[in-house]
Amino acid sequence: MKIVYFDVESYEEEFLKNNNEGKFTYYLVPNPLNDLTPVSEEYADADVISVFTTSRVTREVLQQFKNLKLIALRSVGFNHIDLEYCRENNIAVETSPNYGNITVAEYALALMLDVCRKVTVSYIEYKNARVCPKSLIGTELCGKTVGIIGLGAIGSAFARIVHGLNMNILAFDVVEKEEMKQLYDVTYTDFDTLLKESDFISIHAPLTKNNYHMFDEDSFSKMKDTAIIINTGRGELIETQALYNALINKKIAGAGLDVLENEEMISDIDYMTGINRMDRFKLQQTIINTRLFQLDNVIVTPHTAYNTKEAIQRILNTTMDNINKFSEGIVQNDV
């Protein structure tokens, strides 16, 4: 079985070599997959490809693989994969679930604390010897209401953390978990009520066709003008222009963002060298994203909430287990 691992970081190499050597024909490629760079002929007959979220595995990309049977994702998210093409061509897509539940939940709390207590702003002011105590007045978490969008594994971990901080918890999800109500005093409610009553909102939902741009101009208009929004889910859950407008017009108080809409436009060098291939919408999103960086009430980080030693090891272990089982004819953790 021939496997090509894309998006490979240096710290992943030793594990992948140790677990593939002598078992599979394999290749480790540092670059992501996208439609800007043709797939090498050397990789075109791969049985399995493994990618991270930095790849954009479109129909055009997948058509270049003639023998592909499995996409082994080193992530829990799969919105960067053309699932329709995979279904049409009997290509299994397997995720790495539960690797970052506590990792991402802790990071969401870090962003929330950073924005409401102005940690980064305080550091920058102090570093530049321009400390203004009035501009650094923050807000306590204790006793406030936090709305959680998506109470899956990560959202549930986040609920457990904020319950320990004596926060009131509202939740919006298609499935209500009785144990979350009993153990952590979670109150499930509708989306509009959560918007209106939350002092903080933390997004932990996967991206689907139904929730694209769930936070738009109308959503922000219903939120408290003192509210802070945190997103460690997917950037496309928030309409970027609507967020920017809400922030500069003081419709909300701040934002902590680990994900951005069309974030690859900023982080992937291939899009800069192939800038003529960007459409107008993506160019507009890139401009607005860079404007967000300039706002004092916004913290933006480079999709790094997952990034701990423990979570990375869990990703690699699960990915390798998925591939090993697939080689034995067993499909697990499939989308």
pLDDT digits (tens, 9 = 90+) for 136-195: 999 999 999 999 999 999 999 999 999 999 999 999 999 999 999 999 999 999 999 999
Domain housing 38:
2-99+309-327
pLDDT at 133 over 90: yes
Active site residue 280: no
Instruction: Classify residue 191: in a domain, yes or no.
Output: yes
Digit-coded pLDDT (tens) for 228-251: 999 999 999 999 999 999 999 999
pLDDT tier at 278, thresholds 50, 70, 90: low
Residue 292: CA count within 13 A, CB half-sphere: 29
Q: What is the residue-averaged pLDDT of the chain?
A: 94
Whether 234 is catalytic is: yes
Q: Are residues 281 and 146 in the same domain?
A: yes
The pLDDT value given to residue 214: 98
Q: pTM of the full predicted structure?
A: 0.90
Lowest mean pLDDT among 42-46, 263-267, 309-313: 263-267
- For residue 62, pLDDT over 90 is answered with yes
Structure tokens belonging to residue 71: 């996409």
Annotated active-site residue in 56, 74, 80, 303: 303
Q: Tell me, yes or no, whether 72 and 138 share the same domain.
A: no
Catalytic, 303? Answer yes
The residue from 234, 236, 239, 264 that is catalytic is 234
Same domain for 108 and 17? Answer: no
Do 275 and 172 lie in a common domain? Answer: yes
In terms of DSSP H, where are the helices of 21-152? 59-62, 83-88, 101-117, 119-127
**pLDDT of the residue at 276:** 64
Statement to judge: residues 36 and 114 lie in one domain: no
- Inform me whether the pLDDT recorded for 71 exceeds 90: yes
pLDDT score for 263: 86
Q: Which residues contact 226 (CB under 8 A, 6 or more apart)?
A: 139, 199, 252, 253
Same domain, 23 and 73: yes
Give the total number of structural domains in the chain: 2
Query: Which two tokens mark 333?
Result: 């953790």
Of the listed ranges 37-46, 114-123, 207-216, 276-285, the one predicted with least confidence: 276-285
* Residues 179 and 197 occupy one common structural domain: yes
pLDDT reading at 273 higher than 60 = no
3-state DSSP call for residue 197?
helix
| pLDDT at 248 (0 to 100) | 97
Give the separation between CA 58 and CA 144, rounded to whole angstroms: 43
Q: What does the pLDDT read at residue 265?
A: 72
Question: What is the model's pLDDT at position 285?
Answer: 84
pLDDT digits (tens, 9 = 90+) for 285-327: 888 999 999 999 999 999 999 999 999 999 999 999 999 999 9
User: Strand 70-73 and strand 92-94: pairing?
Assistant: parallel
CATH of the domain at 52: 3.40.50.720
Q: Is the pLDDT of residue 262 over 90?
A: no
pLDDT the model gives residue 152: 94
Task: Give the active site residue among 261, 263, 264, 314.
Answer: 263
Residues 9-40 pLDDT 10s: 999 999 999 999 999 999 999 999 987 789 99
Please state, in angstroms and rounded to a whole number, the distance separating the CA atoms of residues 243 and 147.
Answer: 17
Per-residue confidence (pLDDT) for residue 169, from 0 to 100? 98
